Amino acid sequence: MAGLGILLRLRGLSRRTKIVLLVAIVIFLTLIIGVSVGVTKKNKNSNRIARFEDNYNITWAPDHFSMVNGGELVDIMLDKVSGAGFGSINKYLFGNISMQLKLVANDSAGTVTAYYLSSLTDTRDEFDFEFLGNTSGQPYILQTNVYVNGVGGREQRIFLWFDPTADFHTYSVLWNQHQAIFNVDNVPIRVFRNNTALGVPYAYNQGVGIFSSIWNGDQWATRGGLEKINWTYSPFTASYQGFGVDGCIYTGTADSCLTGKNWWDQDQYQTLTSDQLSKLSWVKQNFTVYNYCTDFARYKPPLPECGSDL
């Protein structure tokens, strides 16, 4: 402001010229300050880690939740009293929906940690990750399933090729109008394609919420229910981080999410790349436990998508 005072005392300048220069300096300083504040806000927001409360609510047993670092990390627990669960504030139609999980350690037999997308309607569309606990030292089994228009029965199971209790790993569904790819750390483990041309319904018009829970599934989860939960290891804890959501928010109609303009709609995401096909083949050849498409006792003939699906 001292500089402005000097300007006003300069000799040889008319009063009009001084006023014009003063206004120009004020406008210039205002723009500089505005840009500086905008950059600061942008940098602050871009560096901020998404917290639980930004996109999720507790839906079940809040006393079995533990928030760390202001909700940047969340633990949910199962004991004899209760399990726990949470769900997203919004519903989504298409996107790359992901979460980072660290699963129950030690003897987790009988426990189920579920992470899934569901419309929660009578004719629900749903994509499931279900982590089936096991006795200590045994590999975790990951079961996936797909429901469309309320019809499921499309289970696939694989062994995870790493210890999912030692660190966080990313589990995601890249879902668009052409396919839904189940990924583990960006490795495709399953793809459900849009096969409406074969008469197979596809999930493209119902918004889905994002949910997760931990619960007692020892009637079926481990060796068909032969191994029960050992409660001496409780509470059983699953940990979560990465609460940002990269998806199209569903507002009641599908129109705004069917524009084809989002990044996940572009050509390179409409089919699997050669690298993705190679990784998917590696998973299926080395880690498959069960695939409904090869369960000929259950489905004879196989469901229509099994002839063209991967």
CA-CA distances (angstroms) from residue 259 to 23, 90, 181, 194, 207?
A: 46, 19, 20, 17, 15
CA 284 to each of CA 42, 70, 116, 157, 187: distance values in angstroms, whole numbers, following the listed order: 43, 39, 21, 10, 11
pLDDT above 90 coverage of the chain, percent: 78
The last residue of one of the domains, among 13, 32, 47, is 47
The residue out of 12, 31, 47 marking a domain boundary is: 47
Tell whether 123 and 11 lie within a shared domain.
Answer: no
Whether the predicted model's global pTM rises above the 0.95 cut: no
Co-location of 35 and 66 in the same domain: no
CATH number for 276: 2.60.120.200
Segment 145-155, tens digit of pLDDT = 999 999 999 99
- Is 126 a residue of the active site? yes
- Say whether both 24 and 105 belong to one domain: no
- Name the average pLDDT for the chain: 88
Confidence check: pLDDT of 21 > 90: no
pLDDT category of residue 15 using cuts at 50, 70 and 90:
low
- Please check whether residue 292 is in contact with residue 143, taking contact to mean a CB–CB distance below 8 angstroms: no
Predicted pLDDT at 225: 87
pLDDT at 176 (0 to 100): 98
The reply to whether 130 belongs to the active site is yes
Neighbours of 80 (CB within 10 A): 9
| Domain identity same for 21 and 107 | no
207 contact partners, CB below 8 Å, separation of at least 6: 91, 92, 93, 119, 250, 252, 254
In this model, does residue 140 exceed pLDDT 70?
Answer: yes
Q: Which residues contact 155 (CB under 8 A, 6 or more apart)?
A: 143, 144, 145, 290, 292
Tell whether 163 and 139 lie within a shared domain: yes
Structure tokens at 282: 């590696």
Residues 37 and 182 reside in one and the same domain: no
Residues 23 and 171 in one domain: no
pLDDT of residue 36: 37
Whether residue 130 is found in the same domain as residue 197: yes
**Residues 32 and 142 placed together within one structural domain of the fold:** no
Q: Does 79 lie in the same domain as 19? A: no
Indicate if 42 and 64 belong to the same structural domain. Answer: no
Q: At residue 183, does pLDDT exceed 70?
A: yes
pLDDT digits (tens, 9 = 90+) for 280-290: 999 999 999 99
Same domain flag for 6 and 121: no
User: What's residue 42's pLDDT?
Assistant: 36
Active-site pick, 53, 72, 130, 155? 130
Could you list the residue range(s) of the whole structural domain that residue 150 is in? 52-307
**300/13: higher pLDDT:** 300
Last residue of a domain, one of 26, 47, 68: 47
Mean pLDDT confidence for 163-189 = 98
User: pLDDT for 194-229, tens place per residue?
Assistant: 999 999 999 999 999 999 999 999 998 888 988 899
> Are the C-beta atoms of 173 and 97 separated by less than 8 Å?
yes
One of 72, 126, 155, 305 is an active-site residue; which one?
A: 126
Cis peptide before 235 (omega within 30 of 0): yes
pLDDT the model gives residue 24: 53
pLDDT of residue 55: 98
The CA distance from 129 to 182, in Å, is 9
**Burial, 203: exposed, middle or buried (Cβ in 10 Å; 0-12, 13-18, 19+)?**
buried
C-alpha to C-alpha distance for 274 and 112, rounded to whole angstroms:
33
Question: How many folded domains does the chain comprise?
Answer: 2
Of the pLDDT bands very low, low, confident and very high (cuts 50, 70, 90), residue 4 is: very low
Q: Of 280 and 11, which is predicted with more confidence?
A: 280
